[in-house]
Structure 1
Amino acid sequence: MPEILGASRLTVELGARRGLLRHWPGVRAVDGVDLSVAAGESFGIVGESGCGKTTLARTLLGLQREAAGEVRLEGRVVSGRTPAEARRDRAAIQYVHQDPGAALDPWWRVGATLAEGLAIHGLRDAAERRARIAETLAAVGLDPAFAGRYPHELSGGQQRRIGLARILLLRPRVVILDEPTAGLDLSVQAAVLRLLQELRGRFGLTYLFISHDLSVVRRVCDRVAVMYLGRVVEQGTARQLFEAPRHPYTRALLAAAPHLDGRAAGPSLPGDPPSLRAVPAGCRFHPRCALAEPRCAAEEPLPETVAPGQDVACHRWRETAPAPRQPSIETA
């Protein structure tokens, strides 16, 4: 499939300031990321908190301005704009908030919130707005009567469906899903994931899926990128990363994931990720890596292709690559 969303050497600095005679550098929350998302696929981004997942998503959306690099949408370069221009150029990308309830005005009925987005995007006819809202609520599995409810009258699963309806009204091509199943029990998670799969096929959507839940990522994503301290350390198909991970960080994430069959999770990673203001030299993961050698502290690894569609940035992947195994992350 052709690329619908891509980035080359994308870099984002947070907290940078410029004065008349001085420049105060910020921290690089995203540092030289390359991504290519094909039309119609579900692309996952995983990593520990603070690795840069959400900052990357906000930059692709246009809410955060890139410091360097290129963003492409449907074959057009859309980077190098102000945030207002970027959002206009990237109207085909929409974002579903991690906490959809917090994104709803508690004083407005659901129908008024949904209608506001349509009005902002130029649909002035009230009858047409009501018809499209009713149609979209039905598409996400809700009765059109939900338009008359307030946010506090909705369950967590219903709030997520409203969040999906809110962006589907705008007819996006790419949907960024930030922890779409966080805080939901397993039965509601399963229902939300089924809905996402159904909507993807029905509306021809492309998903950028951000999650800490590796079982969910394995279930819904076609390809996955693993981020650590602002960089992608490994990416490939979901099957490749879950059955034959090459980077020590990827293997550590998979080993530490909980199991549904009662087996104990593997050991957690030692320590916390270093501060972005004091990024280690060489491989960024080497202070926490049991396989690190002197070269790892001195020389930054470049991405290498280890299998068709799978890249890894690690000096020792040839020596430490495990044999393909059965996946240990259960589907929810």
Structure 2
Amino acid sequence: MPFPRPCVPEILGASQLVVELGARRGLLRHRAGVRAVDGVEISIAEGETFGIVGESGCGKTTLARTLLGLQRESAGEVRLEGRVVSGLDPRAARRARDAIQYVHQDPGAALDPWWRVGATLAEGLAIHGVGDRAEQQARIAGMLRAVGLDAALADRYPHELSGGQQRRIGLARILLLRPKVVILDEPTAGLDLSVQAAVLRLLRDLRAQFGLTYVFISHDLSVVRRVCDRVAVMYLGRVVEEGSAATLFAEPRHPYTRALIAAAPHLDGRESGPSLPGDPPSLRAVPPGCRFHPRCAHAAPSCATSEPVREVAAADHAVACLRWRVLA
């Protein structure tokens, strides 16, 4: 089960969440799919920044799309503000979860190149029936200022904006809909360090100004360490470790988490540790026992036969590893 959060209410959570992709069911033939998300348990507190990390293909984006309602869950439960919102088709799920919005990894690709920025921003307001044209324009101008842009940028086309400006437009676009939860998919990818810092400061300020909760998906562990309150580490569709960012980075318990942290670049010039050997196996050929054991330097024979379960390692820190006590 997810950690109880007695001081701050849960705003978004999932229990035993399963997402199967590629399954085909017919009268005479059934083709099994792959479990891109397999038994995930998370509980995100209102107002926090919750990080999701892991290698490409570990299920981060599929989990985010499922929480958003774009991908239907195969089993399990999704909760939003205390209400169960799972078990719906994608269109109904998006209506039930309109308090959740998503900022694309490539904001430029999400902007229509033939539309001026103002028209793109007004489209969302019009779809949701927000005000007349005058009210929409006033809200757009105010939101552009809130994300640190001149209101005159509403008359520009996407190709006339820098990468940092496009990210700010992407934020303005979803904040106009007044969400409560914002899913950020690699929000600093492809930006130089100075622009990254500006975007992260903006995210911090917007969270305070609008009372937002962030789900922060990133490969950049240095950024995750700096901005996230809690972090979940995913491997082959499962959360293998979760805890407060301070505890998880200071005392990682799972060998996979340790390897990710060791291999991450250091801004102070220190050399990174060795990369993980090999690539994650295919989801169609998930190893028995611990999914990480073929790549784990600390694996024991039991790791190939026994599946680890989630255990509490400390307050607000859980790990799914058979040998975490030995390695501590």
TM-score with structure 2 setting the length? 0.97
Identity %: 81
Q: How far is 1:22 from its partner?
A: 2.5
Look up the equivalent residue of 1:303 and give its one-letter code: R
1:246 is matched with 253
Q: How far is 1:24 from its partner?
A: 1.3
Q: Deviations over 1:79-118 (max 9, x none)?
A: 0000000000000000000000000000000000000000
Q: Deviations over 1:192-234 (max 9, x none)?
A: 0000000000000000000000010011100000000000000
1:169 is matched with 176
Residues 293-312 of structure 1 correspond to what in structure 2 (within 5 A)?
293-312=300-319
Q: Aligned match of 1:6 in 6, 13, 24?
A: 13
2:280 is matched with 273
Separation in structure 2 between the aligned mates of residue 98 and residue 20 of structure 1, nearest angstrom:
40
Separation in structure 2 between the aligned mates of residue 163 and residue 31 of structure 1, nearest angstrom:
31
Look up the equivalent residue of 1:154 and give its one-letter code: L
Q: How far is 1:263 from its partner?
A: 1.6
Q: Deviations over 1:159-200 (max 9, x none)?
A: 000000000000000000000000000000000000000000
Q: Deviations over 1:52-74 (max 9, x none)?
A: 00000000000000000000000
Q: Deviations over 1:240-293 (max 9, x none)?
A: 111000000000000001111222110000000000000000000000001101
Paired residue secondary structure (2:93): helix
Q: Aligned match of 2:53 in 46, 60, 71?
A: 46
Instruction: Say whether 1:180 aligns with 2:182.
Output: no
Paired residue secondary structure (1:135): helix
1:33 is matched with 40
Paired residue secondary structure (2:198): helix
Stretches of structure 1 that go unaligned for 5 or more consecutive residues are 322-332
2:3 is matched with none
Separation in structure 1 between the aligned mates of residue 22 and residue 75 of structure 2, nearest angstrom:
15
Instruction: Say whether 1:69 aligns with 2:69.
Output: no
Separation in structure 2 between the aligned mates of residue 201 and residue 24 of structure 1, nearest angstrom:
47
Separation in structure 2 between the aligned mates of residue 117 and residue 92 of structure 1, nearest angstrom:
14
Q: Aligned match of 2:218 in 206, 211, 214?
A: 211
Instruction: Say whether 1:202 aligns with 2:209.
Output: yes
Q: How far is 1:21 from its partner?
A: 2.7
Q: How far is 1:23 from its partner?
A: 2.0
Look up the equivalent residue of 1:132 and give its one-letter code: R
Paired residue secondary structure (1:253): helix
Separation in structure 1 between the aligned mates of residue 16 and residue 204 of structure 2, nearest angstrom:
31
Separation in structure 2 between the aligned mates of residue 239 and residue 78 of structure 1, nearest angstrom:
31
Separation in structure 2 between the aligned mates of residue 242 and residue 223 of structure 1, nearest angstrom:
10
2:93 is matched with 86
Separation in structure 2 between the aligned mates of residue 25 and residue 277 of structure 1, nearest angstrom:
9
Paired residue secondary structure (1:103): coil
2:150 is matched with 143
Separation in structure 1 between the aligned mates of residue 130 and residue 210 of structure 2, nearest angstrom:
20
Q: How far is 1:124 from its partner?
A: 4.7
Q: How far is 1:19 from its partner?
A: 1.1
Count of residues paired in the alignment: 321
Paired residue secondary structure (2:101): strand
Separation in structure 2 between the aligned mates of residue 49 and residue 193 of structure 1, nearest angstrom:
22
Residues 311-326 of structure 1 correspond to what in structure 2 (within 5 A)?
311-321=318-328
Separation in structure 2 between the aligned mates of residue 48 and residue 168 of structure 1, nearest angstrom:
29
Look up the equivalent residue of 2:25 and give its one-letter code: R
Separation in structure 1 between the aligned mates of residue 145 and residue 236 of structure 2, nearest angstrom:
41
Paired residue secondary structure (2:36): strand
2:232 is matched with 225
Look up the equivalent residue of 1:100 and give its one-letter code: P
Paired residue secondary structure (2:166): helix
2:26 is matched with 19
Q: Aligned match of 1:284 in 282, 288, 291?
A: 291
Instruction: Give the aligned CA root-mean-square deviation in angstroms.
Output: 0.6
Separation in structure 2 between the aligned mates of residue 126 and residue 23 of structure 1, nearest angstrom:
51
Look up the equivalent residue of 1:248 and give its one-letter code: P
Separation in structure 1 between the aligned mates of residue 320 and residue 279 of structure 2, nearest angstrom:
20
Separation in structure 1 between the aligned mates of residue 58 and residue 154 of structure 2, nearest angstrom:
37
Separation in structure 2 between the aligned mates of residue 63 and residue 266 of structure 1, nearest angstrom:
37
Separation in structure 2 between the aligned mates of residue 83 and residue 17 of structure 1, nearest angstrom:
18
Residues 117-136 of structure 1 correspond to what in structure 2 (within 5 A)?
117-136=124-143
